[in-house]
Structure 1
Amino acid sequence: TDKPRPVLTVSPSWLSPGASVTLNCQVEHPSAGWSFYWYKAVPDLSEKSSSYELLPDGSGTAQDSYIIHGQTHTAGYVCRAGRGDPEYHTDHSQPKFVWSADVHSAASLTVSPDRVQHFTSDSVSLTCEGNFTEWRVRKFSEDGRLSDCRRMTGSTCNINTSESDTGVYWCESGSGEFSSAVNITVQSMLLYIYFLDLSDLDVT
């Protein structure tokens, strides 16, 4: 049978620099005796994946929550659980992210044209900047899916926008750095014009 996969939640998901972040790891059919392991996701561009680095004192905690104090930058986290002797481990959870809009990251993401609201069929470029040679742009969509930019040219991701491109975007470098994150919303131009027309009507 497949191993169970715990579900990780992070709070808050958008960060005020220096805030505390709480990770919570939930196992299906929870019962006593689980130990929890807490990891930071480190981008691995060569493998098109991430490796996991154990957090300080994050090995085999009795508590199903873990608090990170003074976080300042965008980061990804993963948990897993284990119990028994010899210890049986669950799979790793899906990664969850804490995003920061802090511009003092070692890496940064620039959106052109520079606005949060875009319309369908806009051409939008997302450019990663910093002293790194390799990049990928990642997106976390409204339905909770994580994906990589399919059209990378050097350090720039090019998108011909559709409504499914709404989400949070950030850059990851080959050196394991995360950039600040940007929220992008894509709206249908036809819908926008329709609502503009409605707002012009005299409804008195």
Structure 2
Amino acid sequence: MATLTAGSTTIPVGGSVILSCSVEPSAGWKYRWFRRTSVTSFVEFNTNNEENREITVTQGGIYKCDGKRGNPSFYSHSSHENIIEIMFSNKVFVTRQPNWPQMFSGESITLTCEVQGGGTTEWTCEWRRSGSIIHKTDSKDWTFIVSESSSGNYMCQCRSRDDWYSSTQRSETIRLSVSRDKPGAKLTAGSSTIPVGGSVTLSCSVEPSAGWKYKWFRRTSDSSFVEFSRNNEENREITVTQGGIYKCDGKRGNPSFYSHSSLENIIEIMFSNKVL
């Protein structure tokens, strides 16, 4: 049986790798070389070295060899297959949108495998979480809904669609932290009473605070909650002049993800009339 050995299993762009083939006992053998890709069958190729014991290759692919000697030719068993990859020197890194330090189960995120200087190359990218391949996509972007099990360290690596054995290096990892528990909004009031003609400032917050916008609701003792809007897009603070029962919640992302509503807060108007 032939034995194939490689000086390296990766070829830097513009570089080469030396492959060696041997059959024991070694006397009299010449060698044949074969290469295939992920979409082709094995094809024999020739080199200038008549014995062909060592060859220099510059293409990625799957290689094997066998030995022949005598007349008529006697052939050994083929070697085991050996995968040689071209490793692009482009730097690869992962970006995320949204880039919030803490996410919650049910939110959507897009991870992008950025290949610097990748030009117009069409890529197929694979994603690893904590070392294991978990997803492959025919683009650099991967959008998914996170769950608690999505927490972990992510890295990516892309391959040229025209040559599956040409790949980028792996990116450095980024950390994704996902909580199972939905956060709750907190409503605070500058005062629980409004003097006639006056106002009170209400504040809403969700922790951790990144990315939230807020919705406000009011009801009276004989009505249901009704949402009302303010001109401030973020709506974190509002000024109210009406008494009633108020609550708020937070939303962020696209599609929108909502926090739990705050506890209700009663605001009363305090008339200035003297009571006897």
Q: Which one has more relative contact order, counting CA pairs under 8 Å at least 6 apart?
A: 1
User: Which structure has the highest helix share of the two?
Assistant: 1
Quickly name the TM-score band, shorter chain normalised: 0.3 to 0.5
- TM-score, normalising length: structure 2: 0.38
Q: TM-score, normalised by structure 1?
A: 0.47
